[in-house]
Structure 1
Amino acid sequence: MNSTISTQNLRGNLFVRNLLTFFTHPQARAVGLVFSSESILMASWGAHIPYVKQQLHLSDAQLGMTLFALPVGLLMMNPLTGWLVAKLGEARACLWSAVLLCLSILIPISATHPLVLCFGLFLLGLGAALINVAMNTCATNIERTEGIVIMSSCHGMWSLGGMVSAGLAGIAIAQHIPPFVHIATVAALVLLMTFLVQPILSGIPSSNLASEGDKAVSSFVRPNRDLMLMILIGLAIALGEGAAFDWSAVYLRETLGASSQIAPLGFACFSLTMTAGRFLGDAIIPKIGAKRWLQVGATIGTVGLLVAILIPHPPTALLGFALLGVGCSLGAPILYSASLRIPGIPPAAGLATFATFSFVGFLAGPPIIGFVAEAFGLALGLAFVAGVLLISALLARLVNLF
């Protein structure tokens, strides 16, 4: 009797109910795996950035310049994304973008010249642009047609993939597995998983069928006041994510003198807390309020980076990146959902416009940090990110989330 009551209470818990809905829904699970596949690849690459930097004898500024190749690829793909998704459908767009990511990620890890590195990262940007729009549209289509909320959990799967991948990368480095072998193995597994979920993804109603009259998924609009504020806040959050992704390992290894095994754990700690926050998000946001969380989260992220900077030891830096993960965890799910509800802007257009600018911030932010680091040191580069997050907390007071 008591066990029955406990089970009923557990299922009645909002957090548990949301997780059960997500993980027991085949299409939601499949889309979540697509989210995780991108972060698995990106985190595997991110863990080996110090290795590539050392192999090519790059300075911080030179590394920052080469990292710009990724957002360049993303920006060049964006005008074609709508046509490709419309022609292929969201499911096949997810498939072919994953194929491109899995093949192109083999180039930068084996680069023998900075130009080869730039070419590989450019191709990664092409694939990232396409999969980012396709998978978020798949999640939106499921929410619209099934009447369930999965966006936060899908982004949680992205974080979970990055966390697991960064941890496995640390083990691979500790076991002296050659970086190319590690990356190639991960790419092969992701490719296999992508093919396995294709039949399920193909059953998700397309955006054109789900909402007649909506503009194409990649339609862009001129941002109004509220969408512009969302974009600016999203850029700040994406900058924090990009700092953890591209620079946490470098900061721990080169600035704080952590071992090559410990350095990847910065992103792992960030991903751990971000993952927990996102899976808790559907229960947390109704209690705290989306607008208030944007303010609180940005402040927590700022504090986390300041801890990593002002107490410059590997253990406190890991704590700082963990706090940064908490602060950045719910920003993307909140803003992705809000971008669909802006009066006067078609949902697909609002989503595509916000997603594009947000991902540009994620990709272009790290190179900017590299330039600041070259001139003033990496600690000040991270302090720049902390300042931007603090500004976003102030902007969050002004935005309407509808």
Structure 2
Amino acid sequence: MNTTLSVNKSPRNPFIRNLLTFFLNRRALAIGLVFASDSLLLGSWVAHIPHVKAKLHLSDVDLGLTLFAMPVGLLIMNPLTGWVISKLGEAKACFWSAVGLALCVLIPINAPNQFILAGGLLLMGLCTALINVAMNTCATNLERAENIVIMSACHGMWSLGGLLGSGIAGVVIAMHMLPAVHVAVMSGLILMLTFALQPILARIPSSSRTETGEKSGSSFVRPNVDLLLMILIGLALAMGEGAAFDWSAVYLRETLGASSQVAALGFGSFSLMMTSFRFVGDAILVRIGGKRWLQIGGVMAALGLLLAIVLPYPTTALLGFAILGAGCSLGAPVLYAASMRVPGIPPAAGLATFATFSFIGFLAGPPLIGFVAEAFGLYYGLGFVAIMLFISAGLGKLVKLF
């Protein structure tokens, strides 16, 4: 059954038309819900990290080292995702990694000691890496099969899931619900949703072989020039996201003297703008193209950070972080899709390679900002990221998006 709107009945507004194409296509929406469930679980867990820290009597150093277990899991699994997907297929890998994440999130919230906490986070990292590659590959396969554009909307669902997860967690904390109960309820709901989506996911086309006859998930690969440029742009954009995630509240509170409530809005304004742009991003990308957006978005993101630095007031900083969110919003959808179309590289392997290296930007960005801030001040730390974003806009002119 055709689940998309017919052309004759489609509204003329391209933004509404693309959103309807996404939400009225059962397979597209199913993939989007997997994106949302991933970030919903992560947002639910992150909100309770202070509780776990207090329960296990961890110092700041102990917590920092323990939390690093999840990125370790991501980095371990990313090079293996292509092989796993080649064995299971994209839809099955998407389904089982979603099930695994929903179960693994129960471990850290109930961990009786630091070692089990680290083990649970490691498992969460493994599942997160696999679901990341699998769901993006499923989205690309459906785009090709039905000649539609849904990647940005799928990433919009991921951003929306994170916002909902954080918001629900905030309400739950205010109600004094036990964190373990909250996470268990969310895990159960996501498991039911995942099993309900499984028959729809199973009907998503597979890219078992590329045009050259290679298996789509054969291996992790050494980046060629085209993929390397994508990785470098992804590094800069990930640093921009990391700056908002880890440093926006600190900058507003400690550098600009904003209240704690206003400081909390820094990442909120970034996330809200990123989510909004991703839901209309497919229509934007159809009109101007991914290559052009990488240039516009890089400049926009850099200018947003510069606005927060040059006009150091809470209101202008909030506006700056919002512009940063808009500029960073469509980079991931463009680059994730493009990394699976590089000639001579199997799709899942290209995505896994891009995800592995670009993730380093999200990990390394905040500490680099911290080192620069320690030596020269947070203004210069954020300014360093702005320079990287300007460079990414320049690289956007050189990159080839196949």
Deviation at 1:24, TM superposition (A): 1.0
| Cα pair distance change 1:208/1:28, threshold 3 Å | same
Q: Structure 1 337/302 Cα, relative in aligned 2: closer, same or farther at 3 Å?
A: same
The residue that corresponds to 1:350 in the other structure is: 350
Which residue of the partner structure matches residue 154 of structure 2? 154
Q: How far apart in 1 are the matches of 2:145 and 2:292?
A: 29
Distance in 2 (CA, whole Å) between partners of 1:219 and 1:134 is 14
- Verify the 8 A CA contact 1:166 1:265 in the aligned structure 2: no
User: How far, CA to CA, are the matches of 2:185 and 2:318 in structure 1?
Assistant: 27
Following the alignment from structure 2 to structure 1, what is the Cα–Cα distance between the partners of residues 18 and 276?
13
Give the secondary structure class of the aligned counterpart of 2:397. coil
Q: Is the 8 A contact 2:78 2:352 kept in 1?
A: no
For residues 270-292 of structure 1, the C-alpha deviation after alignment (integer angstroms, 9 at most, x for no partner) is 22211211121122224444333
Give 1:116 shift.
4.3
| Residue matched to 2:132 | 132
Structure 1 distance, partners of 2:277, 2:206, is 29
Deviations 1:95-152 (A, max 9, x none): 2212322233234445565544433322221011110111111111111222222111
- Offset from partner CA, 1:70-90 (integer Å, 9 cap, x none): 221112223432333233332
Mapped to 1, the partners of 2:193 and 2:159 lie a distance apart of 17
Q: Measured at CA, do residues 85 and 349 of structure 1 come closer, stay the same or move farther in structure 2, by a change above 3 Å?
A: closer
On the 8 A contact 1:67/1:367 being kept in 2, the answer is no
Aligned residues: 394
Give SS of 1:12's match.
coil
Residues 320, 119 of structure 1: CA spacing in aligned structure 2 closer, same or farther, 3 A cutoff? farther
Decide whether the 8 Å contact of 1:71 with 1:360 is kept in 2.
Answer: no
Alignment of 1:284 onto 2:277: no
Deviation at 1:373, TM superposition (A): 6.3
Residues 71 and 287 (structure 1), Cα distance of their counterparts in 2 relative to 1, 3 Å cut: same
Partner of 1:198: 198
Q: Which amino acid aligns with 1:239?
A: M
**Take 1:199 and 1:388, find their aligned partners in 2: how far apart are those partners?**
43
User: CA offset at residue 34 of structure 1?
Assistant: 0.5
Which of 224-233 and 83-92 deviates more? 83-92
The 3-state SS of whatever aligns with 1:131 is: helix
Which residue of structure 1 lines up, in the alignment, with residue 361 of structure 2?
A: 361
State the distance in 1 between where 2:157 and 2:347 align: 23
Q: Say whether the 8 Å CA contact 1:169–1:264 is kept in structure 2.
A: no
Structure 2 SS opposite 1:203: coil
> Any idea what SS the aligned residue of 2:222 has?
coil
Q: CA distance change for structure 1 residues 286 and 93 in 2, over 3 Å: closer, same or farther? A: closer
Q: Partners in 1 of 2:149 and 2:292 — Cα distance?
A: 20
Aligned to 1:103: 103
What is the match of residue 223 of structure 1? Answer: 223
User: What amino acid sits opposite 2:194 in the alignment?
Assistant: T
Asked whether 1:21 is paired with 2:25, we answer no
Distance 1:401 1:382 in 2: 29
Structure 1 distance, partners of 2:196, 2:396, is 41
CA distance in 2, matches of 1:318, 1:47: 22
What is aligned with 1:303? Answer: 303
Give the C-alpha shift of residue 27 in structure 1.
0.5
Q: Is the 8 A contact 1:207 1:217 kept in 2?
A: no
Alignment of 1:11-50 (within 5 A): 11-49=11-49
- 1:322 aligned partner: 322
Cross-structure match for 2:339: 339
Larger deviation, residues 20-29 vs 188-197: 188-197
Mean Cα deviation higher: 133-142 or 316-325: 316-325
Secondary structure of the equivalent of 1:396?
A: helix
Q: Deviations over 1:355-397 (max 9, x none)?
A: 3323443355445556666777766654443343233223223
- C-alpha distance in structure 1 between counterparts of 2:335 and 2:153, whole Å: 14
Measured after TM superposition, the shift of residue 67 of structure 1 is: 3.6
Moved more, 376-385 or 103-112: 376-385
Query: Is 2:237 the partner of 1:237?
Result: yes
Q: Is the 8 A contact 1:305 1:320 kept in 2?
A: yes
Alpha-carbon offset, residue 210 of structure 1: 8.3
Q: What is the Cα-based RMSD across aligned positions, in Å? A: 3.4
Q: Which runs of 5+ in 2 are unaligned?
A: 1-6
Question: Any gaps of 5 or more consecutive residues in structure 1?
Answer: 1-6
- Percent of residue pairs bearing the same amino acid type: 65
Question: What's the counterpart of residue 3 of structure 2?
Answer: none
Amino acid aligned to 1:168: I
Q: CA offset at residue 165 of structure 1?
A: 2.0
Residue 340 of structure 2 contacts residue 348 of structure 2 at CA under 8 Å; is this kept in 1?
yes
Comparing 14-23 with 173-182, greater Cα deviation is found at 173-182
Residues 305, 383 of structure 1: 8 Å contact kept = yes
| Displacement after TM superposition at 1:317 (Å) | 4.6
Cα distance in 1 for residues equivalent to 2:99 and 2:250: 28
One-letter amino acid of the structure 2 residue matched with residue 157 of structure 1: M
Three-state SS of the structure 1 residue aligned to 2:398 is coil
Where do 1:85-100 residues align within 5 Å?
Answer: 85-100=85-100
- The Cα of 1:33 is off from its aligned counterpart by 0.4
User: Which whole-Å CA distance do the structure 1 matches of 2:104 and 2:131 have between them?
Assistant: 14
